[in-house]
A and B are shown apart, each in its own frame.
Chain A
Amino acid sequence: MSELPVWAALLVGFFALAGSLLTLLGCLGLARLDSFYERVHAPTLGTSFGAIGILLASILYFSVTGQRPAVHEVLIVIFVSLTTPVTLMLLARAALYRDRAEQNGNVPAAAFGQDVVVEAPADPQA
């Protein structure tokens, strides 16, 4: 660890801190936002630039300490950024389906007219 120059340590620290701060904010949003559909947005903070920051730190650290020209963290970035939208879309569709099945008025109805914009508590008749 001693062979790491100061500039590299600063950069690694910066990326690690920025990435984990974004992840923390995302999860705080998960805890603080009010409805499910608002909370769906929160985890993408951690999976987009949160993950990129921390994995950049890892790439930099292992490349500079010379154990390996580390690039395979890129795999995690690609993997996470491809899978997160899929899981979130599936979950959101499941939530839509359940809310519609219960007809609790939280979501716009399945077949709806020509209106372009619907406010959050949608009119059940719309």
Chain B
Amino acid sequence: MSETILFWSILVSQLMLAGAMISATTRMIRGPRAQDRILALDAFYVAAMLMLVLFGIRVGTSVYFEAALVIGILGFVSTVALAKFLMRGEVIE
């Protein structure tokens, strides 16, 4: 009983997160400007991180936790670097 509840709720949650990643990707493709794409990338990696945590629950191991933490840290650093690049790299002629 509890196994079926868990299976279906995790499955539906993962599908919803997949939907979240798809809509972030559409924004990444559509743009229109660089800051929109970076914002979408930021939302995308957060959804991917949460997806990994759900995988961990589903499989029943906690090894995915470390991967999620690494995604979070790398995503933060890359977004900051890209935002900095927007301020200093492109607009100044």
Contact = CB atoms under 8 A, between A and B. Distances in A.
B3 A17 contact: no
Given A79-B69, A90-B84, A31 B5 contact: no
Given A4-B3, A30-B24, A76-B53, A62 B46 contact: no
A40 B39 contact: yes
A82 to B, nearest CB: 9
A19 B50 contact: yes
Contacts of B80: 86-87, 90
Interface residues of B, number: 52
Given A86-B80, A91-B42, A31 B17 contact: no
A contact residues, range: 35 or more
Contacts of A67: 60, 62
Contacts of A122: none
A46 interface: yes
Interface of A: 1-2, 4-6, 8-10, 12-14, 16-17, 19-21, 23-24, 26-28, 30-31, 36, 39-40, 42-43, 46-47, 50-51, 54-55, 57-58, 61-62, 65, 67-68, 70, 72-73, 75-76, 79-80, 83-84, 86-88, 90-91, 93-95, 97-98, 101-102
Closest 5 CB pairs of A and B: A13-B9, A9-B2, A27-B20, A94-B86, A20-B13
25 contacts: A6-B1, A13-B6, A20-B16, A20-B17, A21-B16, A23-B17, A24-B16, A27-B20, A28-B19, A39-B39, A40-B39, A46-B50, A51-B46, A54-B53, A58-B56, A58-B65, A61-B6, A61-B57, A62-B62, A72-B65, A90-B80, A91-B86, A93-B87, A94-B86, A97-B87
